[in-house]
Amino acid sequence: MKVLLLKDPKEDECGQDPYIRELGLCGLDATLIPVLSFEFLSLASFAEKLARPDSYGGLIFTSPRAVQAAELCLEKSSQTEVWKETLKEQWNAKPVYVVGEATASLVRRLGLDPEGEGSGNAERLAEHICSRSPPALPLLFPCGSLKGEALPRALRDQGVPLESLTVYQNAPHPGIRDSLHSYYAQQGVPASITFFSPSGLSYSLKHIQELSGDSIGEIKFAAIGPTTAHALAARGLPVSCTAASPTPRALAAGIRAALQLGPR
């Protein structure tokens, strides 16, 4: 049974995308198609802020792209050695909050110790942050241009100071139309399609509707989390499953249940 995942491929230590592997273990033939491209912004300003940990009460990363922006700041600046010797220790003396295993893994690669990865989405991460004593200094929140407002609003309502900085923006992947047309021509209409972000949904839905035609009602649509599920519902599409957490295993379990495949 064929399933389509609208995301970038990311190889793990085994040289395979973990979503492809996990779905393969379930007997599903999964294909990845990238739908987003990214441009990093304000890296000089971000580097300056990373060099001043004494000005902040901690860090918040809600996407791998934000962590990659931090990596770029360190690679392109004179702070790399200072980071290794001093700044890393100073930031590790403060909380570094993250959403999801992929983001947590990249944060660890920076040498930082993340917390909150099990929260699963920004709303629950906000609850985790608010359960702690509010910091006297603002939390530094590098984010994308299309960030949701749930986390900033929740922190603001609880009196947690926050300083947001837009460090990347997204756009449609230039090859999305051709990739989707090629997939449908070779594989046909998939049994399930998973969306990984509201913006990815916006950029790909028109093509999927055109290519699927009258068969679109047969597709089980899946979302990696509640924010994307809400975006699907707002477009009038039935959400067959929302991953219990943004992980390959949770998504595979949700898709299996939606396709009524039974236990693995």
Q: Could you tell me if 72 and 164 lie in one domain?
A: yes
* Domain final residue pick, 146, 171, 196: 171
Inside any domain, residue 263: no
* Domain final residue pick, 144, 171, 198: 171
Tell me how crowded residue 244 is: count the other CB atoms within 10 A of its CB: 13
pLDDT at 261 over 90: no
Q: Could you tell me if 199 and 210 lie in one domain?
A: yes
> When comparing pLDDT for 258 and 134, which is higher?
258
* Among 167, 164, 166, CA closest to 56: 164
pLDDT at 146 over 80: no
Q: Could you tell me if 180 and 110 lie in one domain?
A: no
| Residue-number span of the structural domain to which 66 is assigned | 38-171
CATH classification of the domain holding 162: 3.40.50.10090
CA–CA distance, 166 with 144 (Å, rounded to integer): 5
**Mean pLDDT over residues 79-99, rounded?**
86
**Mean pLDDT over residues 120-141, rounded?**
90
DSSP, collapsed to helix, strand or coil, labels residue 35 as: coil
**Mean pLDDT over residues 200-207, rounded?**
94
pTM over 0.75: no
Per-chain mean pLDDT for the chain: 91
Q: Could you tell me if 165 and 212 lie in one domain?
A: no
Q: Could you tell me if 16 and 78 lie in one domain?
A: no
Predicted confidence band of residue 150 (pLDDT cuts 50, 70, 90):
confident
Token duo for residue 194:
């998973």
DSSP, collapsed to helix, strand or coil, labels residue 252 as: helix
Predicted confidence band of residue 77 (pLDDT cuts 50, 70, 90):
low
* Domain final residue pick, 141, 171, 201: 171
Inside any domain, residue 223: yes
DSSP, collapsed to helix, strand or coil, labels residue 30 as: strand
Q: Could you tell me if 62 and 105 lie in one domain?
A: yes
Q: What is the predicted pLDDT for the residue at 129?
A: 95
Q: Could you tell me if 159 and 90 lie in one domain?
A: yes
What total of structural domains would you count in the chain?
2
Predicted confidence band of residue 245 (pLDDT cuts 50, 70, 90):
confident
Q: Could you tell me if 137 and 44 lie in one domain?
A: yes
What proportion of the chain, given as a percentage, has pLDDT over 90?
73
- Dihedral (Cα; 156, 157, 159, 164), 10-degree rounding: -10
pLDDT at 32 over 70: yes
Strands (E), the chain: 2-6, 29-32, 36-40, 58-61, 96-98, 114-115, 139-144, 162-172, 192-195, 220-223, 239-242
Inside any domain, residue 264: no
